[in-house]
Amino acid sequence: MFKYFLLKILFFIPLISLSQDLITNTFNRDTKSLNGTWHYIVDPYETGYYNYRYKPYDQLKENNNSAFYNNYHTDNKMALVEYDFDKSPTLTVPGDWNSQAEKLFYYEGTIWYKRSFDYTTTSKSNRQFIYFGAINYKAEVYLNGIKLGTHEGGFTPFNFEITSIVKPTDNYLVIKVDNKRFKEAIPTINTDWWNYGGITRDVKIIEEPATFIQDYFIQLKKDSPKIISGSIQLNNSTKKEKITLSIPELKINQELITNENGIAVFEIVSKKINYWSPNSPKLYDVYIKTEYQTLKDEIGFRTIETNGPDILLNGKSIFLRGICIHEENAMRGARAYNDADALVALTWAKELGCNYVRLAHYPHNEYMVKLADKMGIMVWEEIPVYWTVDFTNKNSLDNAKNQLTEAITRDKNRASIIIWSMANETPPSTPRNVFLKELILHTKSMDSSRLISAALEKHYKDGFNIVDDEIGNYLDIVAFNQYTGWYGGSLENAPDMKWDIKFNKPVVISEFGGGALQGLHGTIDERWTEEYQEYLYQQNLKMIEKIPNIRGTSPWILNDFRSPKRVLPVIQDGWNRKGLISNHGIKKKAFFTVKDFYNKIEKQYR
């Protein structure tokens, strides 16, 4: 029997649930970045977390915690210590671990991260929070030997209060990250993208006054283009507080008073709004001022609605000239995570002639949606309820709802986001419909200002392509993926295919396309050549523009991307080759087919 040496315990405080409601707009707050070099320990057997009876150390009653979250230093030569962060290798944060070390390329499991830091507060009365842009997939977070909490979900932010724990020097932050896939997770086990693990987005400490502006929603009131409405939430307000909401360019300087819950709601009439749109992505400086702080944001105002088959942006019918994007810098073969990565992707989208992007298949980092606001690119944002999720599992539903909550909380003030999507290619069934309807209700309860969709599928019967998925009745936009000419169907006949779509709603082709190895040339009859992909796009676009109620498309996909399902030697080698651009940033012939099509469509919708 293994006898673990009882380590001298600095002190062990049982798990305290310190998780806080999400703090938004962290870019404009008083923060200290913890990005940089962190030590790590690969722990495939989770030795640092479970004792030999497979009990988590941080939930044991007796004071025994040889887990890896105590940075234990001792002069006792007899001490049994079988780890040492400071002598362990390092990873860069943010960033997935798979692309940073050859031995981690396909690693799925637990890795422990550790970072030491000093912290000087600007005022004794202030409070401190530690904020994570995202960690894939599950994180256990410890600071100075105290467990702050757990987070599940690989693509949305979370924070914990650390006011009573953080010290002026030698704080040690330890995080157990586990990216193992499992059936009940969101996404579930089977996906067509690589399951990058790690602290994949920014880490920062946020310093706030005792009573601070935690969150706010400032957008146009639904169906009221002259009314700016919303709410402001203070954290730890012990009395009614005065708030000033000002938008100088609109000559708005509104005094508000919070209610007993620290919330102030408002509706402000403004007749001179310069509405946000792709051609004019106007963002207003917005200031929220309390007795204790002033917080600035840049917010665009626009209306988005549907009317029969039309999608109306600021009352005008539009066509979504889109492209799908994974959160990956293909040239690095790694998770994208910063402004530079976002600029590469959205600049390519603009070159393609896009006014819209589908951020697949999960919420992307905040740089992407903030840049989309600035560049005038409309956004479809989705959570990874993808393929065969465990629709009968309440934990899976709660997890999906939580990921929606965190995504909507973070991004609800971004004018560029016009669609929240619930799912991708999920197999119709009663449990699946119940699950998705729950997500739709939850989304509407949080944000009734945006459109709701999901990437459905079509089926073929008696010469017709049919879209009759019941969940379409609950969506604002009927979107579906179709791969004519790649996963079956004749390209030659594509332009004459017949469609039967059972809804009088806007139709968006949320995915179509086919693979090509950039630089491989041949005839249009040779799969994997650029010529085949180009012909596939030519024929699909001729078909698409004839589909009833068509109001947009987002071909699959901007870039080649990593997928362990794509193993054809020489051609795929672990990459999904459906990109219009290769993983070396080289545009394939089909890129220009789409560009020409969007150029034509743009003129039709002027």
Per CB under 6 A, residues contacting ligand GCU are 192, 361, 424-425, 481, 511, 556, 576, 578
| Best CA proximity match to 338, nearest among 27, 56, 554, 561 | 27
Output 361 or 450, the one with its CB closest to ligand GCU.
Answer: 361
3-state DSSP percent of the chain in helix, strand and coil, to 5: 20, 35, 50
Residue number, 290 or 576, with CB nearest to ligand GCU:
576
Measured from each CB, the residue nearest to ligand GCU is 192
Least separation in angstroms between residue 485's CB and ligand GCU is 13
The sheet that has 284-289: what strands, in order across it?
A: 252-257, 242-247, 284-289, 294-299
The least distance separating ligand GCU from the CB of residue 361, rounded to whole angstroms, comes to: 6
The one-letter amino acid code at 486 reads W
Residue 549, CA distances (Å) to 120, 380, 597 in order: 59, 19, 17
Burial class (CB in 10 A: 0-12, 13-18, 19+), 570: exposed
Question: Which lies closer to ligand GCU via its Cβ, residue 371 or residue 509?
Answer: 509
Q: Among residues 24 and 539, whose Cβ is nearest to ligand GCU? A: 539
Q: Least distance to ligand GCU from the beta carbon of 513, Å? A: 7
Q: In the complex with ligand GCU, which residue's Cβ is closer, 166 or 324?
A: 324
515 within 8 A of 487, measured Cβ to Cβ: no
Nearest approach in angstroms of CB 511 to ligand GCU is 5
Give the start-end residues of each E strand in 76-210: 90-93, 110-117, 127-132, 138-143, 146-152, 158-161, 171-178, 203-208
Nearest in space to 594 (alpha carbons), one of 561, 555, 560: 555
- DSSP 3-state of 421: strand
Least Cβ distance, residue 203 to ligand GCU (angstroms): 28
DSSP character string of 359-384 = E-SS---HHHHHHHHHHT-EEEEE--
Residue with Cβ nearer ligand GCU (481 or 529)? 481
Sort residue 418 into left (φ over 0), alpha (ψ -120 to 50) or beta: alpha
Do residues 359 and 380 touch, judged by C-beta distance below 8 A? yes
127 within 8 A of 161, measured Cβ to Cβ: yes
Least distance between ligand GCU and beta carbon 424 (Å):
5
How far, CA to CA in Å, does 440 sit from each of 185, 346, 380, 405, 423?
A: 19, 28, 15, 12, 10
Q: How far apart are the first and last CA of the chain?
A: 76
**What's the min distance (Å) between Cβ of 464 and ligand GCU?**
21
Helices 430-446/394-411 angle, 10° precision: 30
Least distance to ligand GCU from the beta carbon of 425, Å? 5
User: In terms of CB distance, is 208 or 469 closer to ligand GCU?
Assistant: 469
Q: Which is nearer to ligand GCU, 192 or 545 (CB)?
A: 192
Q: Residue type at 53?
A: R
Distance CA 140, CA 20 (A): 15
Provide, rounded to whole angstroms, the least separation between the CB of residue 364 and ligand GCU.
Answer: 15
Q: How far is the CB of 439 from ligand GCU (least distance, A)?
A: 17
Nearer to ligand GCU, 412 or 577 (CB): 577
Least distance between ligand GCU and beta carbon 558 (Å): 12
**Which CB sits closer to ligand GCU, 320 or 324?**
324
CB nearer to ligand GCU: give 457 or 596: 457
What's the closest the beta carbon of residue 194 comes to ligand GCU, in angstroms?
Answer: 11
Nearer to ligand GCU among residue 425 and residue 531 (C-beta): 425
> Starting from the edge strand earliest in sequence, which strands make up the sheet with 498-501, in order?
459-461, 464-467, 498-501
Task: Give the residue with the Cβ less far from ligand GCU, 130 or 324.
Answer: 324
CB of 467 to ligand GCU, least distance (A): 15
Burial string for 499-519 (b: 16+ CB within 10 Å, else e) reads: bebebebbbbbbbbbbbbbbe
Three-class DSSP category at 433: helix
